[in-house]
Chains A and B, each alone.
Chain A
Amino acid sequence: RKEVEQDPGPFNVPEGATVAFNCTYSNSASQSFFWYRQDCRKEPKLLMSVYSSGNEDGRFTAQLNRASQYISLLIRDSKLSDSATYLCVVNTHSDQAGTALIFGKGTTLSVSS
């Protein structure tokens, strides 16, 4: 089982739609959680960290459920510019990964007019 799993996608939505991405992680000892955004042929960039209490940044809301080992990202009022791949990322303190981040495969979002 992969350490970080995401919805396969792609998600094709019209402008203005609300879309949610889900992610699960396997290591219960994981400490930190993030969503990264990656545009086509570009490097990943941090979108937002995910906190246990849930956090919001404008149209983006991230939530963490430690008991279920589940992370979500909600995007409201989708814009064309939101089209990208969204990567779920976990800091897994395991012997195998050390202090590095473990990335999911990513979910592709395409917003159309």
Chain B
Amino acid sequence: GAGVSQSPRYKVAKRGQDVALRCDPISGHVSLFWYQQALGQGPEFLTYFQNEAQLDKSGLPSDRFFAERPEGSVSTLKIQRTQQEDSAVYLCASSLSGVNTIYFGEGSWLTVV
């Protein structure tokens, strides 16, 4: 497809379980972003990649969160030992370069029970 693709679209995890969320950006897009959006809130920045380099991970809420983009294309956001407060939509976005025109995927909806 032409847009940013995320999988799974919906994930229910038991507390303490590890989850992995995948993002397939638009082909050729250099910049990739992960955001977390809780119910009723705006998206909160998590981390940013330029190609395979993770240039900013200041938004990751704890060391249970880890993101990678080893070949500069597909990215994975991993959450270890999930907790209820991790329940949110995880949005991936990509752009040719920088932030002036970024395109979001539909998000991965995570519910931790």
Q: Does B101 contact A (CB under 8 A)?
A: yes
Alpha-carbon gap, A98 to B102, bound state (A): 15
- Min CB distance, B104 to chain A, in Å? 4
Q: Which of under 10, 10 to 19, 20 to 34, or 35 or more describes the interface residues of A?
A: 20 to 34
Q: Which of under 10, 10 to 19, 20 to 34, or 35 or more describes the interface residues of B?
A: 20 to 34
- Min CB distance, B6 to chain A, in Å? 9
- Using a CB–CB cutoff of 8 Å, the interface residues on chain A facing chain B are 4, 32, 42-46, 49, 87, 91, 95-106
Alpha-carbon gap, A18 to B35, bound state (A): 32
Chain A: CB-nearest residue to B101: A46
- Using a CB–CB cutoff of 8 Å, the interface residues on chain B facing chain A are 33, 35, 40-45, 48, 55-56, 58-59, 91, 98-102, 104-107
A101 / chain B contacts, CB cutoff of 8 Å: 33, 45, 99, 102
**A32 contacts B99, CB within 8 Å?**
yes
A100 is contacted by which of B45, B100, B105, B107 (Cβ under 8 Å)? B45
Known: A87-B42, A103-B44, A105-B40. A98 touches B104 (CB 8 A): no
**A44 contacts B100, CB within 8 Å?**
no
B106 is contacted by which of A42, A96, A97 (Cβ under 8 Å)? A42
Chain B: CB-nearest residue to A106: B42
- Min CB distance, A16 to chain B, in Å? 28
Chain A: CB-nearest residue to B107: A43
